Chains A and B, each alone.
Chain A
Amino acid sequence: MSHHRHTEPIWMRTLFIGASVVFVGLLILLPVISVFTEAFRKGFGFYLTSISDPLAMSALRLTLIAAAITLAANLVFGLAASWLIAKFSFPGRNLLLSLIDLPFAVSPVISGLVFVLLFGAQGWFGGPLYNHGIQIIFATPGVVLATIFVTFPFIARELIPLMQEQGADEEEAAVLLGANGWQTFRRVTLPNIRWALVYGVVLANARAMGEFGAVSVVSGHIRGRTNTLPLHVEILYNEYNFSAAFAVASLLALLALVTLVAKAALEWRIRAEQRPAGMDQGAMEEVA
């Protein structure tokens, strides 16, 4: 960080730093600490019992399954959409970009509500499907659909700007040298975008495993069957089983902290990879 010659007097700097530390400390750090102290309030034994409880385990299982399906589905979509938008130019491309971002603007409860309106008992398709023995709402498919919806733009959003920036020169060269589409993608594109891809997956995963509002609306809270970890936290809490609720919550808090560390590491990695490329470009411009 460079030194700024025109800076504030020392009393003002101290005031700003102090205010920032106190505000962020009270507002953000305190809740994080409280999750862990509350989780261990009744001792380590109780903590272990709470997180290894069969209902907690089945909630964990559903959370992992829903996240895995969500990530796979949104990964394939992210790759298809970014290939389409970055490698081709066609009318309506900007509109498509805005539509991909749409779920970011939809609040959690509404993200669940739209699927209830489609597949609920009185929904558009709910009746006919139910008559064929297919249940979506208050069942695993509903949980998966809502999770896919809320994390829809995450991976595509990371890939599109990067692939647009990289252009299509390398892929064109590969195709002209005789590579087919799949080879071009695997050997040329994928190595160029892998860290951004991992970055998008890490962020999407955190949201997928932690989503509450959307999943809460479609799940029906059936214990042992349609409960995810965040919903299990809610149930335990509403039963005044606070220590157990915080024990399960601490797993989710841990996931959040791991995500933040991974995010910082990936950002460092992506910057490190972009820097030499940027220098090359500068050198090229100087030569020209």
Chain B
Amino acid sequence: MIRLRQHSVIPGFGLTLGYTLSYLSLIVLIPLSALAVKGAAQPWSQFSEAVFDPRTLAAWRLTFGTAFIASLINAFFGLIVAWTLVRYEFPGRRILDALIDVPFALPTAVSGIALTAIYSENGWMGRWLQPLGIKAAFSPLGIVIALTFIGLPFIVRTVQPAVEDLDPAIEEAASLLGASRLTALRRVILPALQPALIAGFVTAFARSLGEYGSVIFISGNMPMKTEIASLLIVTKLEQFDYAGAAAIGLLMLISSFVLLFLVNVGQWWSTRHMRRAT
């Protein structure tokens, strides 16, 4: 590959640099710094009251808890789905593969009302859960279902390439050494997929923390019970409490930045580690 320096024969360096930086600043950097400044430039007592009052604390617990459970469910089933899609040939495989992308493409409000219709008392799923005493819609379980829905593609699409890249020699060696298929899966293949699985889990978790559209219909939005952090921001804005909204928003933004930064560091570390191992 040819490395170009600034004195390249190709024109447009100044123009594209200027345009890119101005547009980036106007659309992304200035608005995000407005949040940082508005959130951080308030007395600590005011900040902590916005972020740690009982109602907000309940929302944090609910948001992090449901996101964690949903991502765990997705890590388990997402691994199975990714493995199935890569390794097995069966009728409908391509349709199954295409369905994984639906939560990416379907507007969140549409997923939200559809999930609510299905899991409310007389919905397709709700009517079976109701006699079992399980209340899905308008409860934390409903939030878990919505977050599982939106999180699945993140896990499957992260694990799928890792399954494709598995070195067949390792599986061969395991079987030559007399390991049963189950042992090979557990002791050889699962550890090899672990970095991708963790990366997918954290990405799905980070995305779930800020999810709004698919959750607010099914959650019922009862303060202290089924109110997520994103909704609290909206509520504070409706009351013109900009500082409070900015405080919660800033904390959410930092959480997701830290999580996604960890994913990048982890991926960088594991590729380096793998390269050294081979």
A17: which of B10, B77, B88 is its contact (CB, 8 Å)? B88
Asked whether, in the complex, the Cβ of A106 is within 8 Å of the Cβ of B32, the reply is yes
Q: B26 CB to closest chain A CB, in angstroms? A: 9
Q: Is the CB of A6 within 8 A of B175?
A: yes
Interface of B (DSSP majority class): helix
Binds B, one of A25-33, A43-51, A270-278: A25-33
User: Which residues in B have their C-beta under 8 angstroms from that of A8?
Assistant: 181, 185
Q: How large is the interface on A (under 10, 10 to 19, 20 to 34, 35 or more residues)?
A: 35 or more
* Bound-complex Cα distance A257 to B95 (A): 12
Q: Are A19 and B109 in contact (CB under 8 A)?
A: no
Contacts of B4 in A (CB 8 A): 87-89, 168
Chain-B contact segment, one of A94-102, A192-200, A279-287 = A94-102
Determine if A217 and B125 form an interchain contact, defined as CB atoms under 8 angstroms apart.
no
Are B242 and A117 in touch, CB under 8 angstroms? yes
Q: Does B72 contact A (CB under 8 A)?
A: no
Q: Does A134 contact B (CB under 8 A)?
A: no
- A21 on the B face (CB < 8 A): yes
Whether A9 contacts B16 by the Cβ 8 Å rule is no
Contact of B35 among A12, A28, A117 (CB under 8 A): A117
Contact string against B for A residues 102-126, beta-carbon threshold 8 Å, 1 for contact and 0 otherwise:
1101111110011111101111100
Min CB gap B123→A, angstroms: 8
- Chain A proximity mask over B196-218: 1 for CB below 8 Å, otherwise 0: 00000000001101111100010
**Is A190 part of the contact surface with B, judged by Cβ < 8 Å?**
no
Known contacts A175-B11, A249-B109, A260-B102: A122-B234 contact under CB 8 Å: no
Q: Nearest Cβ distance between residue B25 and chain A, in whole angstroms?
A: 9
B54 close to chain A: CB less than 8 A: no
Say whether B114 contacts A118, CB under 8 Å. Answer: no
Q: Quick check: is A225 within 8 A (CB to CB) of the other chain? A: no
Chain B interface residue count, Cβ-Cβ cutoff 8 angstroms:
97
Are B210 and A260 within 8 A (Cβ)? no
B190 to chain A, nearest CB (A): 13
Q: Which residues of A contact B80 (CB under 8 A)?
A: 16, 19-20, 23
Listed from nearest, the 10 A-B pairs whose CB atoms lie closest are A107-B210, A210-B107, A213-B212, A114-B31, A212-B213, A31-B114, A181-B11, A84-B16, A256-B105, A230-B109
Q: Contact residues of B with A, CB < 8 Å?
A: 1-6, 8-13, 15-17, 19-20, 23-24, 27-32, 34-35, 38, 77, 80-81, 83-85, 87-90, 92, 96, 98-103, 105-111, 113-115, 117-118, 123-125, 145, 148-149, 152, 168, 171-172, 174-175, 181-182, 184-185, 206-207, 209-213, 217, 230-231, 233-234, 237, 240, 242, 245-246, 249, 252-253, 256-257, 260
Q: What are 26 A-B residue pairs whose CB atoms fall within 8 Å in the complex?
A: A1-B89, A4-B87, A4-B168, A12-B181, A16-B84, A17-B90, A19-B80, A20-B85, A27-B152, A28-B99, A28-B100, A28-B102, A81-B16, A88-B4, A88-B5, A105-B257, A107-B253, A113-B35, A118-B30, A120-B237, A168-B4, A212-B108, A230-B109, A230-B110, A256-B105, A256-B107
